[in-house]
Structure 1
Amino acid sequence: MTIKLGLVYGGKSAEHKVSLQTALAVIKALDMSKFAIHPIYITDQGEWIRGNQLEGPVEDVKALQLNGEGTAISPVSLNQELFPAKSQDDDKIDVVFPLLHGPNGEDGTIQGMLELLNIPYVGNGVLASAAGMDKIVMKSLFAQAGLAQANYVSFIKSDWEKAAEASFQKVEDTLGYPCFVKPANLGSSVGISKCNDRDSLIKAFVEAFEYDRKIIIEEAIVGREIEIGVIGNDEPICSVVGEIAPKKEFYDYKAKYEDGDTDLIIPAEVTEEEYEQIREMAIKAFKAIDGSGLVRADFFLTKDGNALINEVNTMPGFTPFSMFPLLWKHTGVEYPALIEQLVQLALDRHEVKQQIKHTF
């Protein structure tokens, strides 16, 4: 039976364009004999627009923006059993695939809405999505789980504004240079700066606080950037590992999504012991945030063979330059099969949830 799949993409986020590219790649990979694909576009102003069922592949992201097409909807209309609509065209979606990156999508907000609507959805739940988005909370959970990671400090904007000099001094005393300044709740390397002195640190604080009220500053680790894919629910499995070899100073937004000017080495050259260490840490991190569906776990691998976890991404990109689908391709899972597996994991998790008692 054909599965009615709602693809939610766009979003009110600085990563809006990234989401469009992810949606385009997923649509091109889906088997339309198995899925009835319904595009649901969230504009950068937060308006929801539902398009007609796709009859064929989409050629570019402009078509996905549904300009002049589609119907403005309330997201609650996605479950017609709870909120019946007048139009029969907006009937119930079987499962939703949130292809959203950043705040207002990857952070648990959409996931919470879908939970309330009792609609199966691909990927992580509310807790894992929120924890995976907030780098400060994430690192606290990793520390509790005993995972090795880089040293870091964090600030909220109001505290920094009251004591800027003390904030800068704390970074210098605790971490030194070089260091990386990042918004706490953003991905795709948006708003990230590498700092080598006080002047660059000041500029980095200002830029990062433009994207979030909380920022995190991490020590620079000398090591290889290693990534691994994780899929599953209660019994997650891992892909081969890959290595990021940016030709620039670090793997920034442009390298990830625009020019492809980065070498992705898959599989990465690691020893069996190093792979096993990374695999075990990735699964431990997945369980620490109560993950489900998928994550991409990012590590630093030092010269002495020790792995430090950097972060997990609960909705990794699916663009042609993205590491996550490439890792699984080299593991033996092609892109269409990967998407189908993620959809099935969503349906399996939803079925388990339906067995939970809600009365006493």
Structure 2
Amino acid sequence: MKSKIKVGILFGGQSVEHEISILSAQSIYESIDKEKYDVVLIGIDKQGGWHFSDEQIFLEYNASRRLKSLTNKIDQQLALIPGRKVDFLYQLSTQEKTKPVDVVFPVLHGTNGEDGSIQGFLKLSGIPFVGAGILGSAIGMDKEVTKRLLRDADIPIPHYQVVRQVDSNRIDPLQIQAEFGLPLFIKPANLGSSVGISKVKVVDEIKPAIDIAFLYDQKILIEECILGREIECSVLGNEHPEASLPGEIKPNHEFYSYQAKYLDENGANLEVPAKLPDNLIKKIQEAALKVFQVLEIEGMARVDFFLQEDGKLLVNEVNTIPGFTQISMYPKLWEASGLSYKDLITRLIELAIERAERDQKLKTTYEEY
């Protein structure tokens, strides 16, 4: 009998999106094909400690009816041993051999999880992992770098300006108002889930919004406010990616904020698939695939657009580890496109293994020919 593949679901992390990561991990754990895969739950607490977990963490999470963090259990921490592949985790307290892992499914949204950090560690450990590699993850996380690459590829984006914390004293709110008009958006360059984002309506709000954004990053973006529909498209694949049907976000808040996404059950309406003509659906899918490839992404990503009244399509951002609950847009779009949540998880794991096998064929020793 063929042995099951051991999948490590990695969640939590040192990020403001820690709690959302737990929700995504729970959905994956409950839906993964357990006839094909044995699951190892690996949680990272907010202090950076790694621990083996079990499904009890999800029961406790549901019972609380609120977002909460993983507990820091110092006596149960794991040591990380790069280069050991399946036994790269070592139980410190018992000094016993740990549970083996064949492939890792990182569900670490945001900082230290979606930015190439974890991807680099797993790459050094020789362990296949789901989602974008080091470069694609780092590019996708940094909104400024993303915009620069898209601009150079002639892909339309909103007008923006980057401000670094070292230059924050030189900011002139009146100049910003003159350049961008009002309202405008101010956001951290490296973050997700709309954390630290402010919609500024009057000039006196500019400086406080900048201060809030700098709480989360050393680099922030000032962006024009685009009037239009918020359209999202899911992409899946390695060398030959595919795009899902697009969906539409209809926020009931001022914008699609953290509160609208996670804390308010009526924060937004998701229209899946979006009501769009066939020619526009094709245009969005082609644009999503181009963005995916220009940004050197593999595995998966959700590409977010603004669709203006005149039909012009602007890229807002990409998410290389998008929300992955049963009601999150990324899997819902694939479900609408004919790929179930369970089969989507399977396909992502297959893509991770395929990429690792492809990369293993590269030589690491120089030979003269």
TM-score (norm 1): 0.93
Alignment-derived partner of residue 46 in structure 1: 48
1:294 aligns with 2:300: yes
1:307 aligns with 2:283: no
Structure 1 distance, partners of 2:253, 2:154, is 32
1:106 aligns with 2:117: no
For residue 80 of structure 1, report the CA deviation from its aligned partner: 5.1
Alignment-derived partner of residue 66 in structure 2: none
Structure 2 distance, partners of 1:113, 1:57, is 25
For the structure 1 residues 294 and 257, does the alpha-carbon distance in structure 2 shift closer, same or farther, using more than 3 Å as the test? Answer: same
1:192 equivalent among 172, 197, 200: 197
For the structure 1 residues 210 and 68, does the alpha-carbon distance in structure 2 shift closer, same or farther, using more than 3 Å as the test? Answer: closer
How many residue pairs get matched? 355
| 3-state secondary structure, aligned to 1:240 | coil
Alignment-derived partner of residue 187 in structure 2: 182
Alignment-derived partner of residue 20 in structure 1: 22
Alignment-derived partner of residue 32 in structure 2: 30
Please tell me whether the aligned partners of residues 81 and 89 of structure 2 are also in contact (alpha carbons under 8 angstroms).
Answer: no
Structure 2 regions of 5+ residues with no counterpart? Answer: 64-68
1:204 equivalent among 191, 205, 209: 209
Structure 2 distance, partners of 1:327, 1:134, is 24
1:162-241 aligned at under 5 Å gives the runs 163-165=170-172, 168-241=173-246
Structure 2 distance, partners of 1:84, 1:50, is 10
**Which moved further from structure 2: 30-39 or 180-189?**
30-39
1:115 aligns with 2:123: yes
For the structure 1 residues 133 and 83, does the alpha-carbon distance in structure 2 shift closer, same or farther, using more than 3 Å as the test? Answer: closer
1:136-175 aligned at under 5 Å gives the runs 136-161=144-169, 163-165=170-172, 168-175=173-180
For the structure 1 residues 93 and 306, does the alpha-carbon distance in structure 2 shift closer, same or farther, using more than 3 Å as the test? Answer: same
Alignment-derived partner of residue 243 in structure 1: 248
Please tell me whether the aligned partners of residues 87 and 101 of structure 2 are also in contact (alpha carbons under 8 angstroms).
Answer: no
Supply the AA of the counterpart residue of 2:202: D
Percent pairwise identity: 42
For the structure 1 residues 68 and 154, does the alpha-carbon distance in structure 2 shift closer, same or farther, using more than 3 Å as the test? Answer: closer
For the structure 1 residues 244 and 346, does the alpha-carbon distance in structure 2 shift closer, same or farther, using more than 3 Å as the test? Answer: same
For residue 320 of structure 1, report the CA deviation from its aligned partner: 3.8
* Cα root mean square deviation, aligned: 2.2
For residue 34 of structure 1, report the CA deviation from its aligned partner: 1.7
Please tell me whether the aligned partners of residues 302 and 319 of structure 2 are also in contact (alpha carbons under 8 angstroms).
Answer: yes
Supply the AA of the counterpart residue of 2:115: D
1:321-332 aligned at under 5 Å gives the runs 321-332=327-338
1:131 equivalent among 128, 139, 154: 139
Structure 1 distance, partners of 2:320, 2:50, is 23
For the structure 1 residues 336 and 66, does the alpha-carbon distance in structure 2 shift closer, same or farther, using more than 3 Å as the test? Answer: farther
TM-score (norm 2): 0.91
Please tell me whether the aligned partners of residues 228 and 282 of structure 1 are also in contact (alpha carbons under 8 angstroms).
Answer: yes
For residue 30 of structure 1, report the CA deviation from its aligned partner: 1.3
Structure 1 regions of 5+ residues with no counterpart? Answer: none
Alignment-derived partner of residue 61 in structure 2: 61
| 3-state secondary structure, aligned to 1:345 | helix
Structure 2 distance, partners of 1:83, 1:267, is 41
Structure 1 distance, partners of 2:89, 2:163, is 45
1:330-349 aligned at under 5 Å gives the runs 330-349=336-355
Structure 1 distance, partners of 2:213, 2:90, is 42
